[in-house]
Structure 1
């Protein structure tokens, strides 16, 4: 009996130590980073990757699920800060937004939290049914994509961030050109005529499907662009991602499964 009790104590000790190791110091001062919207915006764009897998802690340093973390960002009064870690693992903790902080910071955090929570809830669900033709007249359907990993980029020609990442996503297509079980498809809001004129100047290596505004608004309920989807070989949404950086990491992981 005494031996069993000792084993339990040792287990609890190591579990506690493991948790504490994850809880490193903040990368930046949580109060100082709230001084100006510009400081926060630069930090958030480079360091807060909510679509990635990460370990989350609440304001009281208690480990919580990603879902709870995102819900608190969307609806609470918290700012997310990445914690220092000896590994490449992402670890985030919630800190309170200060009373005198620019209200734009809270509004931005609530919005990115809302978008990330919505995307997270889509993961693990079936990608909505569709049957469309790309600019070359090829029919693309859920059935034709079965058994393949599908990378989908949602965009439109007047979306500056969407166009800015063209060189990166084109390179991604090149990097995976020998993996025949990975397909790259893009859904664009614009008409075939507009797209052909635009893509003659700014080539995109993805297969491009035009006139997708209604489908993206209603079936996918998108409100931010670009948005990337990774669909697994069973037709389920594996990841929903807001930028190329997150897409690159997630696709590398999915392609090895």
Structure 2
């Protein structure tokens, strides 16, 4: 009788644990995906978004903080793989990089991890003081933007990924056009004259602020473009994001707060 009771209790604990575990195996084979750099790069670009919210696990399947996860990507010998799930939440786990894998995989992951870690550490801090004039002569300052959600796109004319997402970010502006508490502005490295000529051919629905190279390098310490910021209504950095896909998800969440 005692033995049967123990078996029942063990089963119930297992069943409860299983029902709460809404993620499963890796969505790709962690070893196979490392066969070539092309395979890994194609998977990473479509399935790994380190700027979004996710639950992280180390290589021993122990849950760790997002900060610890990104630190290990930046400085360790791991690749991130998404786990299959049925609850809409992202679960990432670290897997060892194989000894015979292309060295470009590790170098790329370390750089991506470094950028994501740096961006993550900026979240929750105050956006640096600014006083800008856009191409239309409008003055924009920290004080004038208080009480608004600010979406900032950092870019320059010769940045191909920056320009490629113009149609998507323009569509995003249109989507939120009735939200008077959301402002879209962009910081560009280029001069006003260069930007006016360029934007006549490639329109951008954001307000555009020229000559921002020094500010982006020194105040924001950016080393990759595009970079997007979402500031909350208190002027704090809510999210730092590397692409439109991450921006779209994060803004939808911030706009509902």
Q: TM-score, normalised by structure 1?
A: 0.93
2:156 is equivalent to residue 156 of structure 1: yes
Which runs of no fewer than 5 residues in structure 2 stay unpaired?
A: 1-8
The aligned residue for residue 220 of structure 2 is 220
Following superposition, the deviation at residue 19 of structure 1 comes to 9.0
1:16, distance to aligned residue in structure 2 (A): 7.5
* Structure 2 residue matching 1:137: 3-state secondary structure: coil
Cα deviation for residue 22 of structure 1 reads: 4.0
**CA 173–15 in structure 1, closer or farther in 2 if over 3 Å, else same:** farther
The residue that corresponds to 2:186 in the other structure is 186
Secondary structure at 2:24's aligned position in 1?
coil
1:18 and 1:236 map into 2 onto residues whose CA distance is 39
Q: How far apart are the structure 2 equivalents of 1:111 and 1:18?
A: 36
Conserved 8 A contact 2:172-2:248: yes
Bigger drift between 211-220 and 23-32 goes to: 23-32
Q: Which residue number in structure 2 is paired with residue 42 of structure 1?
A: 42
Structure 1 unpaired stretches of 5+: 1-8
Q: Within 5 Å, which residues of 2 pair with 1:1-257?
A: 13=13, 17=17, 21-257=21-257
Contact 2:150 2:230 in 1 (8 A): yes
TM-fit CA distance, 1:13: 3.9
**Partner Cα separation in structure 2 for residue 19 and residue 37 of structure 1:** 37
In the TM superposition, what whole-angstrom CA distance separates every residue of 1:214-237 from its partner, at most 9, and x where no partner exists? 000000000000000000000000
Preserved CA contact (<8 Å) 1:153 1:228:
yes
Give me the whole-angstrom Cα distance separating, in 1, the residues matched to 2:209 and 2:172: 19
Q: Any conservation in 2 of the 1:22–1:91 contact (CA below 8 Å)?
A: no
Count of residue pairs brought into register by the alignment:
248
Give the drift of 1:87.
1.5
Shift of residue 135 of structure 1? 0.3
Mark the CA change 1:159 to 1:19 in structure 2 (over 3 Å): closer, same or farther: farther
> Which TM-score applies when normalising by structure 2?
0.93
Verify the 8 A CA contact 1:59 1:95 in the aligned structure 2: yes
* Pair 1:65–1:246, CA change in 2 (3 A): same
How far is the alpha carbon of 1:88 from its aligned partner?
1.1
Residues of 1 paired with 2:16 and 2:222: CA distance?
41
1:4 is matched with none
